[in-house]
Amino acid sequence: MIHADDPVLAALLAKFADAPACWMSSVRPDGRVHLAPIWHVWHAGCAYVCTQSGSVRAANIAQNSSVSLALPDPMNVIIIEGETGPAPEDAAALQPLFQAKFDWDISTDADYTLILRITPRKIMAWGDHGEGRWHFA
């Protein structure tokens, strides 16, 4: 979990939080990368996504918790590298965030039941949103 004391980082994280979706990459057990777009929210210094428990993404993170998130703009880049894992304990806090952002009630969705918390380890950015590299323990 990070706290953005740096104003550039705070602005970048706000941009990421407001984005309608991001690309999420994970690693298959055979080493091949899986990349797919996904809705996300930002809460308490971490990114969160909801996915199907039987998805490729879920199988991948069960074997390798390393993931990357990126916004789709290749000229104004925000990349978050981190570790992920299930976070069912955060469902109540996240429900209003997903509801407000996507008009999606994650508490009643029978398919997308796996809540994943992405804890940033490294954030990289360049372009109009700001530039920098930030590393977290």
Is the pLDDT at 102 greater than 70, yes or no? yes
pLDDT tier at 99, thresholds 50, 70, 90: very high
Structural contact between residues 33 and 98, judged by C-beta atoms closer than 8 angstroms: no
- Each residue of 22-56: pLDDT tens digit? 999 999 999 999 999 999 999 999 999 999 999 99
**25: nearest Cα among 66, 76, 72:** 66
Select the more confidently predicted residue: 97 or 137: 97
Mean pLDDT of 77-88: 98
Q: 3-state SS of the chain?
A: CCCCCCHHHHHHHHHHHHCCCEEEEEECCCCCEEEEEECCEEECCEEEEEECCCCHHHHHHHHCCEEEEECCCCCCEEEEEEEEEECHHHHHHHHHHHHHHHCCCCCCCCCCCEEEEEEEEEEEEECCCCCEEEECC
Please report which confidence band the pLDDT of residue 135 belongs to, taking 50, 70 and 90 as the band edges.
very high
Question: Is the pLDDT confidence value at 5 over 90?
Answer: no
Q: Was domain 7-135 assigned CATH 2.30.110.10?
A: yes
Sketch the domain layout of the chain as residue ranges.
7-135
CB 87 within 8 A of CB 25: no
